[in-house]
Amino acid sequence: MRIPPPLELFIRSIIGRAYPRVIGANRELSWLIPETVLPLLGLAAYVYVYRAMKAPTEFVGYVVLGGAMTAYWLNILWSMASQFYWEKETANLQLYIMAPVSPMAILLGMGIGGLVASTIRAGAVIIVGSLLFGVTYQVSSLGLILLVFFLSMVALYGMGMLLASLFLLSGREAYNLSNALQEPVYLFSGFYFPVKSLGFWAAAVASIIPLTLGLDAMRQLMFPGDPTLGFLSPWVECGILLLLCPLFLYLAKVALVKMERAARIKGTLSLRWQ
Amino acid sequence: MNKAIQTIDLVREFRVKAGKDRENRVIRALDGVNLEVEQGELFGLLGPNGAGKTTLIKILVTLLYPTSGQAFVDGLDVTRDVLPIRQRINMVSGGEYSGYGILTVRETLWMFSQFYGIPYKVAFERINELLEVVGLKSEANTRVSRLSTGMRQKMNFCRGFVTGPKILFLDEPTLGLDVEAARDIRAYIKTWMEKHRDRTILLTTHYMAEADELCDRVAIIDHGKILACDTPQALKKRVSGGSILEMSLSGLDELSWLKGKPGVKGLTSSSSIEKNRTALKLVLESEEFVPEVIRELNQREIPILSVQSVEPTLEDVFLTLVGRGLSDENSTTP
Amino acid sequence: MAVSFEVPRRGSTLKEIWIQFKQASRLGWLIESNWADPFVFAVYSLIRPLSTALILVFMYLVVVRGSTSNPFFVHLYIGNAFFMYAGRVMMGISYAIIDDREHYEMLKYIYISPLKIFVFLLGRGVAQVITTTVSVLVILLLGLWPLGIRIPWSSLNWPLFFISFPLGIIAIAFMGYLIAGLALVIARHSWAIADGVGAVLYVVSGAIFPIDILPSWVQVISRAIPLTYWLELLRRSLLGSSFSPSFNTMPDWELFLWLVGLTVFFGFLGYFVFQRMNIVARRKGLIDQTSGY
Ligand SMILES: Nc1ncnc2c1ncn2[C@@H]1O[C@H](COP(=O)(O)OP(=O)(O)OP(=O)(O)O)[C@@H](O)[C@H]1O
Ligand SMILES: [Mg+2]
């Protein structure tokens, strides 16, 4: 019996768990069509509203960017937060917990796999949406944009990992909660309008969802038309995201340990028993 | 050397909600289990539905805490030494699916091997070997969603062996498999144990013959208690002092009243409506009680078509100890 | 599901149709209220629609920075509120097909005649109309009070409202029937189809903007669907004015005729498509399929 070095085991597990998500996105390519067309239709309606109101052109860019980002939020809700519910049904969860690796590796694998799969969808929406509605980008510092994107994704998937751990014990509640969080977050994170218009305090509270600040910063950096529309300066937003990343990852780890323990006490790691 | 598995007064209770107004009920799934399994043993756990077999396994594989008592796997405490235990074990539950429909069989097995840090080359060698043995080689590149139930279960079985565990837990590994597939699986378990002398398997099953054929030692468990634990031969010897009768009766009469008669230790019966017959199996304390039973049947005017005295099987041991058959619907629970 | 749904075997007298319709409505209601534990009901009927409405409110506020009593906003808000019927009733009807196929496996039992399925689906739609009305009223209340939308109560055209409203619901039901027909033969993406059609209609019918802003080829589609006229009629009856300049010159009766004509057209189209797809589905053995998710 060979006991692999901890780091090797950790990385192998991440790759192992990410694999079905990455490969799944490729194998079921036919899903890419509805998953691109649906958000495009949704954002098209909003684009026309802005046009009808004679909004400045950068608003079209706001909407396209926000519409693309819905792919990530949907992924967090349906493939992270409520994931363990499905994993229980297929009895995978107990196999993951039983493996000699920290369940954090499994969560990270889920997150990274989901990130890759969602990026394909978001990318398709951005490209088609930009071409369709003639969005022009004014990128001044690509480096900062990439940094913001990276940080918001780490923080977002950290949050997804936290939600997944918190719902380790639950059954259908996770599914209901995912349903309940979909549109409200589109609203509070400002997917289709600058979050600043919610007012300072509402926007500040909404900033706990990493996409809020991520979107706001990316919009400011890609469409610098009206600087008064930004919530905070991109650098400040970057800084806050930088704090959110370790916070969510740490909380996810703590929650995971607690929930695993609770599940072992209550006997809820599998739905069925024979 | 450490015992492979050891439990001391192990108890596990479940609290179940019994509806809105009623109080929560407590189910005692394990009720003071003491068990010792040596390294290199193929140990069988036999028991009817709800006996607590799966619960015991879940505790040993660190998925469940005991309510009280202690359990050790390879000398390690299941509540404290979680990680080292997990490095040494694996589990297969029959009837449970695992993996994702979108992956192929080979990919699924590879994925699970990664959580044990197995290098690619080793993993794929083992996967190929295992798939060959269980007859799933031709499906290696088939997507899991397209497998039949039995195929999927065979894949799940392979998953348990891929990681080369020191102690392996098999919870009804042949559940729902056809005769041939079950035979393949049993054959593989035997060869694996012969090839790796230092490995231990704890296997639960409903099938007496399976336990008889495979296991070095068998424990019989019911209502969370171990009723007996010995080699199959020794267990069978215990009932050979008595007498086992197989009778064929005409008609479909209810026979549970026999249970209370002197000398009767256990019985099972099954009736065939088409043939209008009932097959009755009786375990008696000794041969002296045979005429007694026949008289009772005659008194009630139940025609006896044949009577036969048979060698004890593990089934009869079970019948004697538990008082009812293992998968017996007309069982007469005491 | 412990709900039994009996299909009258013979004839289709009005009375039998009525009985069947009642049973289907009851079934629809039971299914609806099945997942209507208060939280789930709140999510579907309040949280989601309110969030969507508020997104529009903030979009408007950030651009116009004006008051919400502006006619543009009122038209947008009212259109969005009533569009909910389209989304929910249409989906309720087509999901009935998908649901039954995948969850209740009841479809094979109700496969008798297209008329009967139609009555069955309509019954299911009624349950949706009722729950949707709750959401629409909440949205309208939100508009009236905190948002300060003004409705010219004295000049409301109630007769126009009360003949247009039910007609539009019927048109929506027909469209749901059409989608249900398509969903019958599409196994894998049937959920996406229902969602997708809803999203297309949201754009094309000009629920939240005047259709004049759409590319002209899309406007052709807008004018070919009953929803566009329905929303226009509702706005006129409630607000007394048009959203879209190109409808400005059209008198009420002409709009109404369009709505009637298109409703009838979609009724026939739905009927024939459904019947056709029904045959295709049976021939290919798709009726009992489950997509195993
Ligand atoms: N997670 C759980 N929550 C509540 N009760 C449970 C749970 N797991 C097991 N039980 C109960 O504990 C008892 C023992 O169950 P267990 O699954 O261990 O039996 P088993 O011997 O494996 O039975 P089978 O032969 O049917 O697989 C049963 O009464 C069962 O209902
Ligand atoms: Mg069991």
A192–C188: do the CB atoms touch at under 8 Å? no
Q: Over 90: is that where the pLDDT of B308 sits?
A: no
Q: What angle do CA B297, B303, B307 make, to 5 degrees?
A: 80
Domain-terminating residue out of B177, B202, B235: B235
Q: Let me know: does B73 contact B182? Beta carbons within 8 Å.
A: no
Q: Give residue B319 CA to ligand 2 midpoint distance, Å.
A: 20
In chain B, how many domains are there?
Answer: 2
Residues from chain A that touch B96, judged by Cβ atoms under 8 A, are: 91, 272, 274
In sequence order, the 6+-apart residues with CB closer than 8 A to the CB of C133 are: none
More confident residue, A16 or B102: A16
Using a 10 angstrom Cβ sphere, with 0-12 exposed, 13-18 middle and 19 or more buried, the burial of residue A102 is middle
Q: Which atom of ligand 1 is nearest to the CA of B55?
A: 18
Assigned domain for C271 exists: yes
Domain region containing C239: 14-283
Q: What are the helix (H) ranges across A3-102?
A: 6-27, 32-52, 58-76, 83-89, 92-98
Contact yes or no for B261/B296 (Cβ under 8 A): yes
Q: From the candidates A83, A104, A269, A273, which should be mutated to test the interface with B, based on the most B CB atoms within 10 A?
A: A273
- Which residues have CB under 8 Å from C29's CB, separation 6+? C127, C130
Q: Please check whether residues B45 and B179 belong to one and the same domain.
A: yes
**Under 8 Å between Cβ of C165 and C78:** no
**Using 50, 70 and 90 to split pLDDT, how confident is the model at B29?**
very high
Determine, yes or no, domain membership for C23: yes
**Is residue A155 within 8 Å of residue A248, measured between CB atoms?**
yes
> Which H helix or E strand runs over C34?
helix C14-34
- Residue finishing a domain among B191, B208, B235: B235
Q: Which of A183, A186, A192, A198 to mutate to test the interface with C (most CBs of C within 10 A)?
A: A183
The count of other CB atoms within 10 Å of the CB of residue B260 is: 9
- The distance of Cα C107 from the centroid of its chain, to the nearest Å, equals 22
Count of structural domains within chain C = 1
- Best CA proximity match to A180, nearest among B27, C46, C210: C46
Across A129-143, B158-172, C136-150, least confident range: C136-150
CB A274 less than 6 A from any atom of ligand 1: yes
- Chain C adjacent subunits, 3+ CB pairs under 8 A: A
CATH number at residue B89: 3.40.50.300
pLDDT tens profile B53-63: 999 999 999 99
Domain boundaries, chain A: 6-266
Both B310 and B190 in a single domain? no
Q: What is the DSSP string of B27-82?
A: EEEEEEEEEEE-TT-EEEEE--TTSSHHHHHHHHTTSS--SEEEEEETTEETTT-H
* Whole-number Å distance between alpha carbons of B319 and C166: 71
**A23 neighbourhood in chain B, CB within 8 Å:** 102-103, 107
B22 residue type, one letter: R
Burial of B194 (0-12, 13-18, 19+ CB in 10 A): exposed
Q: Is the pLDDT of residue C202 over 90?
A: yes
Taking the CA of residue B52 as reference, the ligand 1 atom at the shortest distance is 18
- Give B303's pLDDT tier (boundaries 50, 70, 90): confident
Q: Taking the CA atoms of chain A, what radius of gyration do you get in angstroms?
A: 20
Residue B12, SS3? strand
Cβ–Cβ under 8 Å, residues C81 and C143: yes
Q: What pLDDT band is residue C101 in, cutting at 50, 70 and 90?
A: low
B276 contacts: CB under 8 Å, gap ≥ 6: B250, B251, B252
Residues of A in contact with B172 (CB under 8 A): 274
Report the residue of chain B nearest A271, measured CA to CA.
Answer: B96
> pLDDT tens, A6-65?
999 999 999 999 999 998 877 777 778 888 888 999 999 999 999 999 999 999 999 999
Half-sphere exposure at residue A129, Cβ-oriented, CA atoms within 13 angstroms: 31
Provide the 3-class DSSP secondary structure of residue B203.
strand
For the ranges A45-59, C82-96, C127-141, the lowest mean pLDDT is seen at C82-96
**Nearest-CA distance from C6 to chain A in Å?**
31
Q: Which helix (H) or strand (E) holds A256?
A: helix A234-266
From the CB of B29, is ligand 1 less than 6 Å away?
yes
Residues of chain B in contact with residue A17, where contact means CB-CB under 8 angstroms, are 111, 114-115
Query: Which chain A residue has its CA at the smallest distance from C209's CA?
Result: A49
What is the per-residue DSSP string for B221-271? EETTEEEEEE-HHHHHHHHHTSEEEEEEEES----GGGGGSTTEEEEEEEE
- Least reliable range by pLDDT among A177-191, B212-226, B311-325: B311-325
At C145, is the pLDDT very low, low, confident or very high (cuts 50, 70, 90)?
Answer: confident
Quickly count: other Cβ atoms within 10 Å of residue C152's Cβ.
Answer: 11
Q: Tell me, what's the ipTM?
A: 0.92
Rounded-to-integer distance, Cα C234 and Cα A156, Å = 42
Domain enclosing residue B269, as ranges: 239-333
Sign of the C-alpha dihedral computed for residues C193, C198, C202 and C205 taken in this order: positive
Task: Work out the minimum CA distance from B237 to partner chain A, whole angstroms.
Answer: 31
Same domain, B171 and B287: no
CA distance B221 to B50: 10
Q: Which distant-in-sequence residues (6+ apart) come within 8 Å of C95 by Cβ?
A: C194
Reading the block at residue C8, the tokens are 């009258």
Per-residue DSSP letter, A231: S
Q: Select from B30, B64, B126 the residue whose CB has the most chain A CBs within 10 Å, as the one to mutate to test that interface.
A: B64
Is the pLDDT score of B10 beyond 70? yes
CA of A273 to the centre of ligand 1 (A): 6
Return the residue whose CA atom lies nearest to atom 27 of ligand 1. Answer: A274
Residue C292 binned pLDDT confidence (cut-offs 50, 70, 90)? very low
From the CA of A273, which ligand is nearest? 1
Residue B18 domain-assigned?
Answer: no
* Mean residue pLDDT across chain B: 87
Give the distance from CA B182 to its chain's centroid: 14
**Same domain, residue pair B260 and B131:** no
Distance from the Cα of C152 to chain A's closest Cα (Å) equals 23
For range C4-12, the mean pLDDT = 48
Count the alpha carbons within 13 Å of A249 in the hemisphere toward its beta carbon.
15
- Angle made by CA atoms A119, A120, A122, in degrees to the nearest 5: 60
**What's the CATH number where B329 sits?**
3.30.70.260
Residue C6 lies in a domain: no
The residue to which tokens 């009623």 are assigned? B22
CB of residue B232 inside a 6 A radius of ligand 1: no
The subunits that touch chain A, with at least 3 C-beta pairs less than 8 Å apart, are: B, C
**What pLDDT shows up at residue A239?**
96
Q: Considering the domain boundaries, does residue C131 fall inside one?
A: yes
> Does the pLDDT at position A4 exceed 50?
yes
CA angle A191, A176, A116 (to 5 degrees): 50
Identity of the residue in C72, C192, C203 whose CB atom sits nearest the CB atom of A53? C72
The Cα A274–Cα A271 span in angstroms is 10
DSSP SS3 for B325: coil
Q: Which residues of C214-237 are buried (b: 16+ CB within 10 A; e: fewer)?
A: beeebbebbeebbbbbbbbbbbbb
Cα C224 to averaged position of ligand 1 atoms, centre (Å): 61
Gap from A262 CA to chain B (nearest CA, Å): 9
Distances from the Cα of C282 to the Cα of C117, C182, C285, angstroms: 15, 13, 5
Alpha helices in B135-219 (DSSP H): 149-162, 179-195, 208-214
For B190-207, write each residue's pLDDT tens digit. 999 999 999 999 999 888
Cβ count within 10 A of residue C67: 10
Taking CA–CA distances from A4, the nearest residue in chain B reads: B117
Report the separation in Å between the CA atom of B141 and the middle of ligand 1, taken as the mean of its atom positions: 36
> Would the CB of B47 count as within 6 Å of ligand 1?
yes
Query: Which one of B192, B207, B235 terminates a domain?
Result: B235
Let me know whether B165 and B43 are in one domain: yes
pLDDT in the model for residue C35: 54
B227 with B97, same domain? yes
Q: What tokens appear for B256 in the block?
A: 């549970």
**Bridge-based pairing state of the strands B89-93 and B167-171:** parallel
d(C-alpha B123, C-alpha C32), whole Å: 50
- What pLDDT is stored for residue C288 in this prediction? 47
Could you tell me how many residues make up chain C?
293
Q: pLDDT per residue over C226-280, tens digit each?
A: 999 999 999 999 988 888 888 888 888 999 999 999 999 999 998 888 878 877 8
Q: Which of C128-137, C163-172, C179-188 has the lowest mean pLDDT?
A: C179-188
- Percent of all residues in chain A with a pLDDT value above 70, rounded to a whole number: 98
Cα–chain center distance at A23: 19
Confidence (pLDDT) at C104: 45
Q: Whole-model pTM?
A: 0.86
pLDDT recorded at residue C212: 93
- The answer to whether the beta carbons of residues B159 and B170 sit under 8 Å apart is no
Q: Is B117 in Cβ contact with A9 (below 8 Å)?
A: yes
What are residue C144's phi and psi, to 5 degrees? -70, -45
